[in-house]
């Protein structure tokens, strides 16, 4: 194999021999044409030798891999990209506008949770009156004429949904700041100790305060009085706190351990849809029980009033009889 330096040396010798020819017009033109032709052939030969020395025999030269090979799922799980992309978009929006993102996310969570709670709320005990039983037969004919969308819309309590949206919108930003503070606090040398402390603080402080706020606002927006609000809180907050101890410590620990900061809110939001459904059902059940208790209380008061009135009448009759006897 001839080295490139030797090939260029030969070319240089040929140039010198051609240039030493007689300086005639025709000889000069012929010499330059021969020199350029020889230079082109030599450059092509050198290129072929260079490619042959740097590529093994049989390998394709200057060929790209087909585009179809790039779309085959490999170890990087490329087929999950359509699933990852919405979460990445949420993370980018979360970093740009965290408060607005949390506000909109809370509205969606509370809206869906309340609708699910109303859909499965038919299993709750209801007190039917005689007028409702009479209107059932008349309403069946109207329901047959309506479509399922109109029927679904008519069966929803939109005032209750509005209360849920208001409660969720007011609690969105404070809850976000709380979890930011909790993530930046109690960071000890031991990861187990840090995680245990965060879970305990969240369960002891945040959960009962939030549940009190939720049930108290539900009663307040419904037009209840202060004694009724306190009664609702007593009937719901202890039960909801005990049930939250079965679920939220594990979710909080998993979130602080494996979920990045920008995705913790959406992870908790997916779980919170089910939790808000449970809180709405618990609030509705407590309201139904309170209504039944108040109905029984009114009945007992009426019975007592009747008994007192009967006793007064008996005493008056006795007094009249005694006066007549005298």
Each domain of the chain, given as residue ranges in start order, spans: 4-41, 98-127+152-311
- pTM higher than 0.85, yes or no? no
Highest-pLDDT range among 21-25, 37-41, 160-164: 160-164
Taking alpha carbons only, the member of 147, 146, 166, 158 closest to residue 118 is 158
Pick from 144, 293, 287, 279: nearest CA to 214: 279
pLDDT of residue 283: 86
- Percent share of the chain, pLDDT over 70: 57
Q: Tokens 């992309």 identify what position?
A: 85
**Element (H or E) spanning 72, and its range?**
none
Higher-confidence residue: 176 or 33?
A: 176
Which residue, 184, 175, 183, is CA-closest to 252?
183
Instruction: Answer yes or no: are the C-beta atoms of 263 and 305 closer than 8 Å.
Output: no
The separation between CA 37 and the C-alpha centre of its own chain, rounded to angstroms, equals 72
Report the percent of the chain where pLDDT is more than 90. 30
pLDDT in tens, 260-290: 887 888 888 888 888 888 888 888 888 888 8
pLDDT tops 90 at residue 85: no
Q: Are 248 and 203 in contact (CB under 8 A)?
A: yes
Give CA 103 to chain center in angstroms. 12
Phi-psi region of 186 (alpha: psi -120 to 50; beta: other; left: phi over 0): left
Instruction: Tell me which range, 1-10, 52-61, 204-213, is most confidently predicted by mean pLDDT.
Output: 204-213
The predicted model gives 98-126 an average pLDDT of 82
Q: Residue 68 pLDDT > 50, yes or no?
A: no
Report d(CA 272, CA 265) in Å as an integer.
10
pLDDT digits (tens, 9 = 90+) for 167-213: 999 999 999 999 999 999 999 999 999 999 999 999 999 999 999 99
First to last CA, the chain: 155
Under a CB-based contact definition with an 8 Å cutoff, are residues 124 and 281 in contact?
Answer: yes
* Residue 74 reports pLDDT greater than 90: no
Least confident stretch, 9-13, 78-82, 311-315: 9-13
pLDDT mean over 24-46 = 53
For 241-252, what is the mean pLDDT? 92
For residue 184 the two structure tokens come to 């930046």
pLDDT band at residue 7 under the 50/70/90 scheme: very low
Output the six-digit token pair for 209. 């305060």
**Residue with the larger pLDDT of the pair 110 and 124:** 110
Alpha carbon distances (Å) from 120 to 116, 123, 155, 163, 278: 6, 7, 12, 18, 10
Sign (positive or negative) of CA dihedral 295, 301, 302, 307: positive
Under DSSP, the state recorded for 20 is: T
* Range in 8-22, 210-224, 264-278 the model is least confident about: 8-22
Q: How far apart, in whole angstroms, are the C-alpha atoms of residue 166 and residue 73? A: 45
Cβ neighbours, 10 Å, residue 42: 16
Residues 117-128 have pLDDT tens digits of 888 865 444 444
Contact assessment for residue 266 and residue 108, using Cβ atoms and an 8 Å cutoff: no
What is the mean predicted confidence (pLDDT) over 97-115?
Answer: 91
């Amino acid at each position: 194999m001839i080295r490139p330096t030797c090939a260029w040396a030969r070319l240089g010798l040929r140039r010198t021999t051609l240039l030493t020819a007689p300086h005639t017009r025709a000889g000069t033109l012929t010499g330059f044409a021969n020199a350029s032709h020889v230079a082109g052939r030599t450059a092509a030969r050198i290129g072929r030798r260079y490619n042959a020395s740097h590529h093994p025999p049989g390998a394709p030269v200057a060929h790209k891999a087909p585009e179809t090979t790039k779309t085959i799922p490999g170890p990087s799980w490329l087929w999950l990209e359509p699933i990852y992309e919405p979460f990445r978009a949420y993370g980018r929006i979360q970093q740009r506008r965290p408060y607005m993102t949390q506000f909109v996310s809370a509205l969606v969570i509370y809206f869906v949770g309340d609708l699910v709670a109303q859909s499965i709320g038919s299993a709750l005990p209801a007190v039917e009156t005689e007028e409702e039983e009479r209107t059932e037969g008349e309403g069946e004919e109207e329901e047959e004429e309506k479509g399922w969308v109109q029927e679904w819309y008519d069966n929803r309590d939109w005032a209750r949904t509005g209360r849920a949206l208001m409660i969720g919108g007011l609690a969105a930003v404070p809850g976000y700041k709380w979890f930011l503070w909790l993530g930046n606090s109690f960071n000890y040398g031991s990861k187990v100790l840090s995680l245990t402390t965060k879970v305990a603080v969240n369960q002891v402080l945040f959960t009962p305060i939030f549940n009190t706020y939720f049930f108290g606002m539900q009663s307040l927006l419904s037009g209840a009085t202060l004694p009724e609000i306190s009664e609702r809180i007593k009937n719901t907050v202890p039960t909801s706190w005990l049930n939250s101890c079965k679920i939220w410590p594990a979710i909080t620990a998993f979130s602080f351990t494996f979920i990045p900061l920008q995705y913790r809110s959406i992870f908790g939001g997916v779980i919170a849809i089910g939790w808000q459904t449970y809180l709405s059902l618990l609030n509705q059940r407590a309201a139904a029980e309170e209504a039944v208790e108040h109905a029984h209380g009114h009945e007992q008061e009426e019975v007592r009033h009747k008994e007192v009135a009967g006793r007064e009448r008996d005493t008056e009759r006795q007094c009249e009889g005694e006066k007549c006897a005298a």
